[in-house]
Chains A and B, each alone.
Chain A
Amino acid sequence: MSDLPEALIDAPIAGQSLTSEVGGWPWEQPPQYTTVEETLEFYLPRLTEPTLQNELMNVIEMGLPLTTIANALQQGAVMQGTHSLDIGILVMPVIMEMLAYLAEQRGIEFNMGTNVEVDDSPSGVAVQLALKKLKAKEGKSEEKPEEKPDNVIEEPIGGLMSRRIM
């Protein structure tokens, strides 16, 4: 059990989503906006609102990728039942481009987040699995009898009282 990743343990129990009443959550209701244009009309005035814009620019200046910000914005709106997930994915590039435009307007350097380098290093779980396999392999090799060289003549092992072998 100790080898299991924490994320797997924290995962919801199978069928957990069926334990609450259907339609009890906002995202289980019909979305408020159903087209790309309607959804953009919802987002763009909010992005240009001075209070939110200042907050967003601070976060962008800190180096948070625009992909992450756009994703968080659309996921929040999906959870509130504003639009569906697929409309959210569709409008994400526009939100990112709008954020880039606003940052550029203010002279803030931003990280688009589209050129993220692929991390080739193995995950902790993969390393643990490889170590486990290596240990198992080593254990097997230790159990194997040692090979005897052909030239060595075996001397009879025995005490003073042992029988003579002819």
Chain B
Amino acid sequence: MNVAKLAYKNLQIAKPKPTLKGGGLLARNVSEKTNAENLEPNKRVAMYVAELRKARQGLKDV
């Protein structure tokens, strides 16, 4: 049994929600960033993995 494989596969990475707000000049600039400290450890880990994956994707695109 590969523990690392299970841990990696069982990560529940949340997909970014499409923003419904308009991007007009008078639109409120409310940040939708979630407070990482209030999340469960596994969700925080999923968040970090998603960030790293995004950065890795950025490397591929260059």
A positions within 8 Å CB-CB of B: 35-37, 40, 66-68, 70-71, 89-94, 96-98, 100-101, 104-105, 112-114, 116
B4 near A113 with CB under 8 A, answer yes
Q: Which of A96, A104, A105 is B8 in contact with, Cβ under 8 Å?
A: A96
Q: Is the interface of B mostly helix, strand, loop or mixed?
A: helix
A97 near B49 with CB under 8 A, answer yes
B44-62 Cβ-contact flags toward A at 8 Å (1 or 0)? 1110110011011001100
B59 near A93 with CB under 8 A, answer no
Measured between beta carbons, the chain A residues less than 8 angstroms from B5 are 67, 113-114, 116
B19-61 Cβ-contact flags toward A at 8 Å (1 or 0)? 0000000000000000000000110111011001101100110
A90 near B7 with CB under 8 A, answer yes
